[in-house]
Amino acid sequence: MIQVNGLIKDYGARRALNSITFDANQGEIVGFLGPNGAGKTTTMRILSGYMPPTDGSAIVAGYDIVEESLEVRRRVGYLPETVPLYTDMTALEYLKFMAELRHIPNAQDRAYETLEQVNLGDRAKSYIGNFSKGMRQRVGLAQALIHRPEVLILDEPTIGLDPAQVVEIRNVIKEIGKDRTVLLSTHILTEAQQICDRVLIINKGAIVAEDTPENLQSRLVGSQRAILRVRGDSDGLDATIKKVKGTRGIEVKDAETVEFEFSSGQDVRPQVAKAVVQAGYELTELRPVGMSLEEIFLELTQDNSAGKGQGSKS
Amino acid sequence: MRNIWTIAKKEYDHYFITPIAYIVAFVILLILGFLFTAVIQGATQGALYGYGTAPDITVVNWWFAFLLMFGTPALTMRLIADETKTGTIELLLTAPIRDYELIIGKWLGSFLFILTIIVASLVYPIVLNKFVTPGIDWKLVLSSYLGVVLVAASFLSLGVGISALFSNQIAAFFISLVTCLGLFFLIGIPANLMPAGGDFFNYMVMRTHFDNAFNAGKIDLSNIIYFVSLIALGLFTGTVAVEARRWN
C-alpha cells in the first residue's frame, strides 16, 4: 500500500531526506520514530500529497504521489503534527465540510458517525475553539478518518491526550490497522511498542533501523538477559545456572536475585527454570530484561552511533 | 466545480460570523445611504430652482467603486494568509482538490458576499425610481451596477492572489490596498509625466474603464475584457503562489 523508493527532499541547501526506502502493507501499522528534525514530518507530508519530493518515488494506495497526486489524496487520511482546525466552526460543521470536499454522500450523517468513532458524538455542535487539546486532537483524527481511507498517515496522533484518551485512540488506530495501512510517527516509544507491527527509526533523513520492536531488540543486542528470583537462600544459585548450556554473564544482584545472559537465537530459560527447581530452589520469577525501545532509539540516533544497528537498511 | 462551490460556501458562511465583514458591509451601505440622500436632496433643490436634472445612481455607484477599494482588501486579507498562519492550508492541500479550485472557491466566496452587499444597495435605485417621473433609466442602472460588480470581482481576485503570497493578514491587507489604489488611480500618473508611450498606463487605469464606460451606460467588450483579464491575473497569481508553496 505504501512503497517508498529512494525518496530525497532538499530544503534549499539542506537535505532533509536522504534517499529513504521502505514499504508498508495492507493491515499493517508502521511506526515512524526519530528525533526532532529527523525527517518524519517531511516524509509524511510527501506521502500525503502536501508537497512533492526532490527526487525518488513513492506509490501510495497504488498511485504515484507526484503523477497521480489527486488519486493519492483521495485515498489517504492525514493528521498533521499541528492539528489543522477551524476554531470558529462546530465539530460537525468542520467534519461536514471535510466530507463535502471528499464528495461523501450524506456528509452530515458521516460526520456524526465519525465523531462517534472518536467519542465526540455528544460535542458535535460545540465550537472547536472551546475544545481542550485532547478533543481537538480527536477532531483532527476524525477528519483523517472521515472518508474511510485506505492509508492513514498520522503525525503524533496521541500528543496532548490524557491517558484514557490515549488508550481510546490507540484502540481506534489498532482497529483501523486491521485491514488498512497505518503509518504513524510518535515520540512515545512504548506506544510504538504497543500498537505497531513494525518500526522504522529515522535519523538525519535516513532510515537507520527497520523491524518489529521485538526483533529490533534482539537483533541490536545480539543476546538477551534474564532476571531470576528465588525465595529464601540462594547460595549456589549462580553455579546451578552456570551448569545450563548456553548461559553466560551470570551476575548475582542480591541474596535472592541473579541475572544471566543467553544468545537471542537460543532461549534457555525453560532449561534454567527446570535446573533451578530441581536443585531445590523456590523459583518466584524468571523474566527477560531486554533493551527497551527507548535504549535502542538512543543507541541508533546518537550522533556517534547512527547506522550502528544490525537492523539497519540504509 | 463541486469543490469550488464547497469552498465558496464555507467562505461565504464564514463572513457572517466575522465582525470585519459586518463592518465592511455596514460602512459601505451607510456611506452610500448618506450619498444617496445627498443626491435626492440636491436633485429636489435643483428642481425647485429650475436648474436640476433628473438624478441617477451613477454618482452613488462611483463612490461604491471607490469604497470597494478599501473594503475588499479587508475581506480577502485572511482568505489564504490565515490558512497559512494557522496551518489549515495543510488540510486543504492534502484534500483531493486542485490548487486553482481552492483559489477560485475562496474568490467566489468573497465575491458572493460582496454581491450580497451590492444586491442590498439596489434599494437605492428602486427608491429613486419612485421619486423620478417617468422613472429612472434602468439600462444605465444595469450598466453601472455591472461596472460595480466587475470592479469588485477584480479587486477581490487581486486580493486573493496577494493573500496567497503572505502568511500575515495585515501585510496582505496593505499590499492589496496599495494595489487597488494604484490600479484605480495612481497607475495613470506616469502617463502624464511621460512625453510618449504612456498609453499603456492610461489603459490600465481602472477608473477610466468604470467611469467612461459602465458608469456612463456603455457596455462594450473591450472594457469587459479589461476586467476579466484582471480577475484572471489575480486567480492565476493565487494558484501559482499555492503551487510554489508546495515546492518550497
Statement to judge: residues A124 and A205 lie in one domain: yes
What phi, psi does B218 have (nearest 5°)?
Answer: -110, 115
Nearest to B96 among A70, A86, A97 (CB): A70
**A113 pLDDT higher than 70:** yes
CA distance A124 to A106: 16
User: For residue A308, what pLDDT is reported?
Assistant: 40
Compare all CA atoms of chain A with the CA of B91 and give the residue at the minimum distance.
A84
Statement to judge: residues A184 and A253 lie in one domain: no
Nearest to A50 among B7, B88, B246 (CB): B246
Residues in chain A with CB shorter than 8 Å from the CB of B88 are: 84-86
Q: Which residue has better confidence, A298 or A68?
A: A68
Say yes or no for a CB contact (<8 Å) between B247 and A51: yes
User: For residue B135, what pLDDT is reported?
Assistant: 79
Q: Is the pTM of this model over 0.90?
A: no
Q: For residue A295, is it within any domain?
A: no
Q: What is the 3-state secondary structure (H, E, C) of B54-90?
A: CCCCHHHHHHHHHHHHHHHHHHHCCCCHHHHHHCHHH
Number of domains, chain A: 2
**A107 pLDDT higher than 80:** yes
Q: For residue A167, is it within any domain?
A: yes
Statement to judge: residues A33 and A54 lie in one domain: yes
CA distance B18 to chain A (A): 9
Residues lower than pLDDT 50 in chain B: none
Query: Residue A135 maps to which CATH number?
Result: 3.40.50.300
Nearest to B2 among A51, A76, A103 (CB): A103
Statement to judge: residues A114 and A148 lie in one domain: yes
Residues in chain B with CB shorter than 8 Å from the CB of A143 are: 91
User: For residue A306, what pLDDT is reported?
Assistant: 42
Say yes or no for a CB contact (<8 Å) between B97 and A101: yes
Statement to judge: residues A93 and A135 lie in one domain: yes
When scoring A50, A69, A139 by the number of chain B Cβ atoms within 10 A, the one with the most, hence best to mutate, is: A50
Say yes or no for a CB contact (<8 Å) between B14 and A50: no
CA distance B148 to chain A (A): 31
Q: For residue A155, is it within any domain?
A: yes
Residues in chain B with CB shorter than 8 Å from the CB of A103 are: 2
Statement to judge: residues A90 and A237 lie in one domain: no
Closest Cα to residue B180, out of B69, B67, B66?
B69
Residues in chain B with CB shorter than 8 Å from the CB of A71 are: 96
B144 is written with which cell numbers?
A: 453601472
User: For residue A4, what pLDDT is reported?
Assistant: 93
Q: For residue A217, is it within any domain?
A: no
CA distance B158 to A292: 57
Enumerate chain B positions whose Cβ falls within 8 A of a Cβ in A. 2-3, 6-7, 10, 14, 17-18, 86-91, 93-98, 246-247
Q: Which residues pair with A30 in a beta bridge?
A: A183, A198
Range of the domain at A157: 2-211
Statement to judge: residues A88 and A29 lie in one domain: yes
CA distance B101 to B78: 17
pLDDT in tens, B132-165: 778 788 898 899 999 999 999 999 999 999 999 9
Q: How many CA atoms lie within 13 A of B125 on its CB side?
A: 21
What phi, psi does A112 have (nearest 5°)?
Answer: -60, -50
**Range among A205-219, A278-292, B219-233 with highest mean pLDDT value:** B219-233
Q: Say how many Å lie between the first and final Cα of chain A, rounded.
A: 21
Grid look-up 499590499 returns B175
User: For residue A295, what pLDDT is reported?
Assistant: 67
Compare all CA atoms of chain A with the CA of B9 and give the residue at the minimum distance.
A97
Q: For residue A309, is it within any domain?
A: no
Statement to judge: residues A106 and A254 lie in one domain: no
Q: Which domain-ending residue is among A188, A211, A234?
A: A211
Statement to judge: residues A37 and A132 lie in one domain: yes
A85 is written with which cell numbers?
A: 482546525
Query: Residue A281 maps to which CATH number?
Result: 3.30.70.100
User: For residue A304, what pLDDT is reported?
Assistant: 40
**Range among A93-107, A166-180, B122-136 with highest mean pLDDT value:** A93-107
**A52: confidence class by pLDDT, cuts 50, 70, 90:** very high
Nearest to B96 among A74, A82, A84 (CB): A74
A235 is written with which cell numbers?
A: 547460595
**A261 pLDDT higher than 90:** no
Say what percent of chain A tops pLDDT 70.
Answer: 90
Compare all CA atoms of chain B with the CA of A140 and give the residue at the minimum distance.
B91
Q: For residue A302, is it within any domain?
A: no
CA distance B81 to chain A (A): 14
CA distance B243 to A9: 17
**A60 pLDDT higher than 90:** yes
Statement to judge: residues A161 and A30 lie in one domain: yes
Statement to judge: residues A57 and A200 lie in one domain: yes
Q: For residue A40, is it within any domain?
A: yes
Statement to judge: residues A111 and A50 lie in one domain: yes
Give percent helix, percent strand, percent coil of chain A, each to the nearest 5.
Answer: 35, 30, 35
Radius of gyration of chain B (CA): 20
